[in-house]
Structure 1
């Protein structure tokens, strides 16, 4: 069938190609860009990744000639539907993302529109020695861009002190729909290039028309704009008034890409405070918290943020009780940032604030969070609010749409009280968080957007809520903009005179009428293009049990892949581990979000992605997913792309020829049974040219050295030498040491070390090894075999006790802990999974119980720590560090990122280059920054192999090897283990 989108786009693509601006219009690409972080889905015709302003001019000219819409896009984090549209999407975040110049003396920075806000702040602080920074800091700042912040007038956590993006613009460079290149300034508008006569003439005419528009509407502009700090809804036309000095730069901010395309800006900088302190305040509910905001504002805070108990409960449910540190008692909390010139004065200010609030009588408990870890933990609760609230611990879902209303801070409590009554009237629940100090609330609501009845409730409630906020003197939007979510409601907030001025102003800027249609003026209905509408009912049979994450009436697979709401944390350039492939390629298709959007179109049966489980577009989107599982922890919405990839590959390859690596690597445990009998011969062959031939024949890269294989008897000898008891001989208090396939086949010396360390920690040790976790079959989507192996493992390990099962290899531990109960749907599987611990996690528990590691050798004083992604995602990121610090390691360099090998991924020929680029994010720089005598901790076999590739002289060590009291083979913590015995071993296993 011919794609209907191909007809109108063919001429556009040809013209763009002739202009040297390639566009992408594949079904997969259009799916990725059909969504932002809102409720909406609008399929574009094509996507362009401009590299220069000339590319933008050429793209706009081609669209003007064909009447095609133009949608400018930054990080795609819009929650109001500002960044989706039916034409050509210009994604500035991939290439036009540079900080061009920092002028500390002038207090400005010159940027391209795609630069991420957090990267901009870092660069400014680096260039000014920490004296200056860029102030706007929305919770999405580590993926949102300057162009996006200009588009919707973003604010952020510290807006109480620093205001909105419009307070920080000096000049904005623009391209209009008729091809003019203009620069909006604080006193007018000019041609960006004085020699460009068309743009000079256009600037003069536009300035005259805007001045006339303001003169004709003096009264309305003065009365209806600027009434509260966060009046973001509509166009900011008050800045055209004489008393505002005809500040066109500020007027452009918040126009949501409907006036012109932003191609550059000069932004203002602010001094960075010398000292800051977070004060956390607990209240009975959000209304009580809001009533104390006027008192808090008397203390000149830099930020007053808030959240309710639902988000905190979800954080703890998803990431463990230790994920929220230092939270005082209460059911709603305010986070108050105080700053000043020195720590003592800031602390004294915090004490005065707490005393004053106690007198008010509403504060349940308050405390100052001086510890940096506590401070970071508390801010993360607030910053991940949108994602955390989307899938709640209670099992419900919540959605945006009325997530950005704002009132004057002194009216916030009354507004929230009335809003709760309105929610109750419509039988809805609102999860509340936001910028309490600015009167701006981000409220996600439990709409049912999947049913017609639920969508009717959505429309009726939102209309009533708009009327309510207007009665309280507020704004429909406080920073997200109006977009598709609220533009239809602007007549409730503004007079016909102002609405007519909006339309006239937009026409003056965009005479071609092609920029971001459907928003602001002549908007689409707020319930049109909803992403959850029109998804066909169908049963998608899966091997993984996804039912715990489902809601009533929704297919488990559909509900799972719809978990992504587009907040885009997977596109962050730092913090956490996800998404390693996106960090390597900077391509939306390689982000967790991009993959999820393609999967969402798959279950829609959309023409952009057809054929369901057989979809080539979905396979392509999943190709560079490393299955690291980091998204299951780092994604605020809990998206688990590794599981989705495994499930999809299982269906996709049924009846098809699988890649060779699904046999060479996917069947690795089977091959290890053979290599374990003749390791010496196998290892000798691998060192010859025949070894590379064999690797290539199996689909493996020849650029990476293959690991040396161990004898099948070597691990048994290690265990015997460690004095491990036979199964059942150690008693009910023993720890069961599970020696996994990777440890048995490649590094048996770790088995003995692990056994000795467990004994030193006070555990009677019993060994189990006659089982396989099925990991390699899971990662390659061979789930039938994986389920059989896991069922056998559950049967072998279910001994009727609750003894901990301590697994040497963290990826195998994660498979037994997480994948076992999801693939084997029995009580036995649940029992076994609940007992599984990674080696590091088990020792961390022992440290918490009072154990002090005491290795026979001196421990290294400095170490590079590479935490395996599966350990990170399933057992947490702190276990190895906890144990190392208890053992006396004082300087730990945390690589804090995926190593890039990730099981089979880094050994595959097609993925080697990406694997090495992933390593450059964290591991490779950490190795280069440390001397060769610094130990490298790699509990994961994959991580150890990447260290071998990056720094062959410095082998990666398992935590057990560092702590082993009985080790005699290595002369130092970084010396490689000898392999003489197991490389020469040829006897069959006993």
Structure 2
């Protein structure tokens, strides 16, 4: 095996056939252009396209991959969740994704408080497994904000810390052993006292372990003084290699010396980690300050109370959270413009309330505290922690504090987001840092681990222009000198990567830099492992993802620059768009909203991203789709050929258009809209998939279908239904809905007419009329039983106070299939029909149609009428909340309800809309299935989607159905959700028979079906 430097040995042939060579070894290797696009980015500012991506199943396959790459001189880049901000999970060689298959928690040893887990396990999954196996007594302590998608291997590679690091320190402090693959493909194990072959019967591995250990020993014994004086000076000194752990007084701790080495020395394939006791009674104290500097000055007082966490956030992050997810998304904060979360528990004090009272007394005596509040409600506490955890994403696309409803105020980026000083030096450092930002004309949003002196700051760098990049580089150099002057570290937990490695000589002496190089060469003499980081680094300004993007106009049907649903705006497209950033095309700017935070790769919490949760494939994550779109924009020869991209079409195939990403993604990526836009252009003047005609044009043929309902339903009950489904591009395994007969529709909707004097407009969509007319009738009766604001009638009169709109459409199916020209025509007609000169609420029983009218219509139809109508639209559940605000008295409700959270209502009208209104209605137990039902409009019916559709249903809905008690209603306001329940009941005998119910049916004062147009009698 050659010791030639990386790049000198590699021939063009070696590089071009690396994927096929690895597949020939039986490895799962993908070198398609789409796959390489997905892995060209992480969460940093950088972009490097790999040759190939490998998905190993175990350490043997990792070793085989690395050995082959070593033999041909191709670099290897290990990768976990790809959430690092330093640019240390990308490269131009072979990327090894350990997060796809190597996700097992192998053993949990409660007695010795350790766990053995593979490198690809997500941290929250590791914590969950440990808590399960120890009855909630123990956990793995490091909890970075990305813990729901960051992996154990990534945490070890970067030396991650987390929100509770003020007590539990860094990942370094919890590593017992690491099982490694060396640069030449051998398996060794690093321990707290040395290095050994993982398999003692492998002579090559035994020999290599002895060689490395001997060389490390010689390196340490010759350099004791600098190792003792330059390293481990502050709690968060993560930059560089952690060589101090090799000192004699540290016991020659090779395992911990490798933590934070960012995959540049060896690949971690599994690790034994230490566990800590779980606090059973944490209490959160929120402290409000005028600014972050004042907050930092009080940190020493807080530290004296032994808290488990001292975390800070900036007011811009809070304003952005509220603007994007509603004011109810942030509740419980005291007054102030910057906030500190202090968590105390039974390990802090015997009497936590008394300790909190004592702490508050001391802080008030300091004179800087503005306000304080103790948060005891678990839901509110977790909500506030989510604001902190989403800080990186929220701060990247901030609202204007002076006008938070006007959309994104500016965008910010990492690059200098991770510096750290001793906590007592933090105020002075922040003062100097603020002055430095002003000198360079930049704005920074600060949040982070105040108790550990580690600040996360996202800065308004302009990486698209040459002058902006020059400013960024100059600032980073000045910032490095500043943090070093305060005795700090360039990195406090994210690692150096491409973002900071070039600046390490500012922090360390030439002698220490030489030791870092020697340490790297001992492990990786051919420099094949993650080149470009720490030793012989790439320049900070190289390979920036936003540099050199072609300037083109991607004309779009959607107005992608408007600030929000129903907002006033003008429409234009291209570089002159009023909301374009830095002269950037709005479509380009929209697709660049993804910065790689990776919340879409989380396994639980929220609704995003259902297809990724089903497949665990980066291709099916919102981030993966965004990256393929970004590569399309960068690499397409021209706009027209870009829209024809097969890579993007393939990436979009399993997108359910659930819209959840528009709410759950901290940066507000709206993949459902981007998908519709892409399909609109991709199939222009081309033959579409048959399902686009069968399902996309469904509203056009539903009316005649009800006339022929008996015949159609009869056919659907025979074997002919399978052939018909296949002909229409549908999956024959999916149960088709039964059409309502024309007479049945007439009976249910009799008397529901337009009424210009009514206070409320009921909009009945095509699906409600064709499949669930009883829902429309129930909705009308509920609305008639309430005197709407502005109504000229009273409940019980011959005029119901409800005007019914039955002859227009929300165009949802045309939107979801990307037939936007026709969608605009339909919505233009709808807007004109509904724009009646009033501000009467327009209530839509079908949540997806309500979302289309509220959000999609003003983005597609650029008229004042469309904007006026959009502002009036309500989902049924949201309007019931307004009725309750008006003092409406609902009927008696069931004690318990299981509710399938509707994705579109969740995304457009608020995540807690349905559950919140049920609780206000008096339902004592609301069980929510928070996740897509799997049908998602046309998605679940289309051929090729059935397996994923059913797997998505298993994420939340199916378990909720199995757990429900007898006679407990299942609320399915969406028709797709009702169909999903029907399908799951049909195929799973563990689910008791049940039919989905609409909220209107639960509230119906006359469930027997009395027409809403008739006098109310006793119910007047």
Q: TM-score, normalised by structure 2?
A: 0.92
| 3-state SS of 1:956 partner | coil
Structure 1 SS opposite 2:887: coil
Q: C-alpha displacement at 1:18, in angstroms? A: 2.7
Q: Kindly state the Cα deviation for residue 7 of structure 1 after the two structures are TM-superposed.
A: 4.5
Structure 1, unpaired ranges of 5+ = 971-990
Question: Which deviates more, 8-17 or 149-158?
Answer: 8-17
What are the superposed Cα offsets for residues 459-500 of structure 1, whole Å, 9 maximum, x if unpaired? 000000000000000000000000000000000000000000
Residue 148 of structure 2 aligns with which residue?
Answer: 142
SS at match of 1:305: strand
| 1:262 and 2:277 aligned | no
Structure 1 residue 780 and structure 2 residue 810: aligned?
no
1:595 aligns with 2:625: yes
What are the equivalent positions in structure 2 for 1:733-812 lying under 5 Å apart?
734-763=759-788, 764-812=801-849
Can you list the C-alpha shifts for 1:807-835, whole angstroms capped at 9, x where unaligned? 01000000000000000011111110001
For 1:716 and 1:822, how far apart are their aligned partners in 2? Answer: 34
Sort the Cα spacing of 1:147 and 1:270 in 2 relative to 1 into closer, same or farther, 3 A. Answer: same
Q: Which residue of 2 aligns with 1:950?
A: 984
1:621-667 deviation line (CA, Å, top 9, x unaligned): 11100000000000000000000000000000012110000000000
Q: Which residue of 2 aligns with 1:559?
A: 589
Secondary structure of the corresponding residue to residue 71 of structure 1: strand
Aligned with 2:883 (options 846, 855, 859): 846
CA contact (8 A) 1:862 1:891 kept: yes
Query: In the alignment, what sits opposite 2:97?
Result: 91
Q: Structure 2 CA distance, aligned partners of 1:852 and 1:515?
A: 67
Q: Separation in 2 of the partners of 1:30 and 1:585?
A: 18
* Residues 649, 232 of structure 1: alpha-carbon distance in 2 compared, 3 angstrom cutoff: same
Classify 1:668/1:610 alpha carbon distance in 2 versus 1 (closer, same or farther; 3 Å). Answer: closer
Q: Which residue of 2 aligns with 1:987?
A: none
Alpha-carbon distance in structure 2 between the residues aligned to 1:6 and 1:872: 50
Kept in 1, the 8 Å contact 2:748–2:1009? The answer is no
**Distance (Å, rounded) in 1 between the aligned partners of 2:823 and 2:131:** 50
Equivalent residues in 2 for 1:112-261 (5 A)? 112-261=118-267
1:822 matched to 2:822 = no
Maintained 8 Å contact 1:12/1:66: no
Alignment partners' CA distance in 2, 1:683 and 1:612: 43
- Give the superposition deviation at 1:836: 0.3
> How far 1:716 sits from its partner (Å)?
4.5
Shift of 1:6: 8.2
Shift of 1:607: 8.9
Q: 1:885 matched to which residue of 2?
A: 919
Q: Is 2:374 aligned against 1:334?
A: no
Unaligned runs of 5+ in 2: 1-9, 401-408, 563-578, 789-800, 987-992, 1011-1020
Closer/same/farther in 2, CA of residues 66 and 646 from structure 1, 3 Å limit:
same
In structure 2, C-alpha distance between the alignment counterparts of 1:685 and 1:5, rounded to whole Å: 62
1:874 is matched with which residue? 908
8 Å contact from structure 1 (residues 174, 260) kept in 2: yes
SS in 2 for 1:141: coil
Distance 1:795 1:615 in 2: 36
1:644 equivalent to 2:674? Answer yes
The aligned residue for residue 726 of structure 1 is 754
- Residue in structure 1 matched with residue 75 of structure 2 by the alignment: 69
Q: Is contact 1:53-1:263 (8 Å) kept? A: yes
* Structure 1 residues 958 and 485: alpha-carbon distance in aligned structure 2, compared to 1, 3 A threshold: same
Pair 1:457-2:471 in alignment = yes
1:293 counterpart residue number: 299
Equivalent pair of 2:18/2:52 in contact (CA under 8 Å): no
What is the aligned counterpart of 2:684 among 641, 645, 654? 654
Separation in 2, partners of 1:13, 1:250: 34
Indicate the SS of the match to 1:954: coil
Counterpart residue number, 1:895: 929
1:982 matched to which residue of 2?
none
What is the CA–CA distance in structure 2 between the aligned matches of 1:66 and 1:848, rounded to whole Å? 70
CA change 1:801–1:231 in 2 (3 A) is: same
Shift, 1:851, TM fit: 2.8
What's 2:309 paired with?
Answer: 303
Secondary structure at the aligned position of 1:194 is classed as coil
Q: How many residues align?
A: 959
Distance in 1 of aligned mates of 2:897 and 2:348:
34
1:919 is displaced (CA, Å) by 0.6
In the TM superposition, what whole-angstrom CA distance separates every residue of 1:402-424 from its partner, at most 9, and x where no partner exists? 00000000110110110010000
Distance in 2 (alpha carbons) for counterparts of 1:356 and 1:713: 75
2:493 is aligned to 479
* Conservation of the 8 A alpha-carbon contact between 2:307 and 2:348: no
Q: Is the 8 A contact 2:552 2:639 kept in 1?
A: no
Residues 886-944 of structure 1 deviation map (CA, whole Å, 9 limit, x = unaligned) = 33322222111000010000001211111001111111111112245221100000000
* Superimposed CA distance per residue, residues 403-459 of structure 1 (whole angstroms, 9 cap, x where no aligned partner): 000000011011011001000010000011100100000000001000001000000
1:106 aligns with 2:112: yes
Residue 584 in 1 paired to residue 584 in 2?
Answer: no
Q: Which sits farther off after the overlay, 276-285 or 178-187?
A: 178-187
SS of structure 2 residue aligned to 1:676: helix
**Cα drift, residue 118 of structure 1:** 0.4
Q: 2:454 aligns with which of 423, 440, 462?
A: 440
Residue 502 (structure 1) aligned with residue 516 (structure 2): yes
Aligned-residue offset at 1:713: 5.3
Match of 2:573 in 1: none
Give the secondary structure class of the aligned counterpart of 1:150.
Answer: helix
Given that residues 63 and 70 in structure 1 are in contact (C-alpha distance below 8 angstroms), is that contact kept between their aligned partners in structure 2? Answer: yes
Contact 1:735 1:765 in 2 (8 A): yes
The CA distance in 2 between the partners of 1:521 and 1:306, in whole Å, is: 33
1:344 Cα shift? 8.2
Distance between the aligned counterparts of 1:852 and 1:343, measured in 2?
47
Shift of 1:847: 2.2
For 1:465, what is the secondary structure of its paired residue? helix
- Conserved? CA contact 1:602–1:610, under 8 Å: no
Which stretch shifts more, 216-225 or 486-495? 216-225
1:590, 1:17 → 2: CA distance? 22
Which whole-Å CA distance do the structure 2 matches of 1:289 and 1:815 have between them? 44
Quick one: distance in 1 between partners of 2:188 and 2:136? Answer: 33
Displacement of 1:92 in angstroms is 0.6
Partner of 1:697: 727
Deviation at 1:712, TM superposition (A): 4.3
- From 317, 321, 332, the equivalent of 2:327 is 321
Whether 1:520 and 2:548 are equivalent positions in the alignment is no
Specify the SS of the correspondent of 1:528: coil
Residue 769 and residue 407 in structure 1: after superposition, are their counterparts in 2 closer, same or farther (change >3 A)?
same
Q: Secondary structure at the match of 1:337?
A: strand
What residue in structure 1 maps to residue 1014 of structure 2?
none
Provide closer, same or farther for how the CA distance between residues 461 and 5 of structure 1 changes in structure 2, counting only shifts above 3 A: farther
SS of structure 1 residue aligned to 2:445: strand
Partners of 2:634 and 2:17 in 1: CA distance = 28
- Kindly state the Cα deviation for residue 274 of structure 1 after the two structures are TM-superposed: 1.8
Inter-partner Cα distance in structure 2 for 1:198 and 1:890: 65
Change (3 A) 1:631 1:6: farther
Contact 2:65 2:185 in 1 (8 A): no
Cα RMSD (Å) of the superposition? 1.7
Are residues 608 and 105 of structure 1, via their aligned partners in 2, closer, same or farther at CA, if it must alter by over 3 Å? farther
